[in-house]
Amino acid sequence: MQINKTRTNQKVSFLNTTFRVKTGRTQGDWVSLWGDYNFTEKGKDISLPFQFTARVTDGKIADSRIYYDRLYPLQIFGYKVTAPENQ
């Protein structure tokens, strides 16, 4: 990725847990991570918390979701959210 060429001091720290869902639509073996992705970009230090959950089938990730606040780093770089004009 080109964006990684502009980032320095990249570090990921996390805690993980595994669990098994025995019945239902989400049945299977799962792993969850709660972590922080820290880096410096354009002279600004960013700490981006995230949560990642994946279902593992035959030792491979079969399904996954990652959650993080996309707005936070944009605000650090000066982006603003504006409401759409009334139509």
Kindly report, residue by residue over 5-61, the tens digit of the pLDDT. Answer: 788 999 999 999 999 999 999 999 999 999 999 999 888 999 999 999 999 999 999
The predicted structure's pLDDT at residue 73 = 86
Alpha-carbon distance 41 to 48, whole Å? 12
Residues in contact with 83: Cβ distance below 8 Å, sequence separation at least 6, in sequence order: none
Residue where the block lists tokens 């970009």: 41
DSSP string, 26-86: T-EEEEEEEEEEEEEETTEEEEEEEEEEEEEETTEEEEEEEEE-SHHHHHHTT----PPPP
The predicted structure's pLDDT at residue 59 = 93
The predicted structure's pLDDT at residue 4 = 67
Mean pLDDT of 54-73: 94
Alpha-carbon distance 44 to 29, whole Å? 39
The predicted structure's pLDDT at residue 49 = 94
| pTM metric for this prediction | 0.75
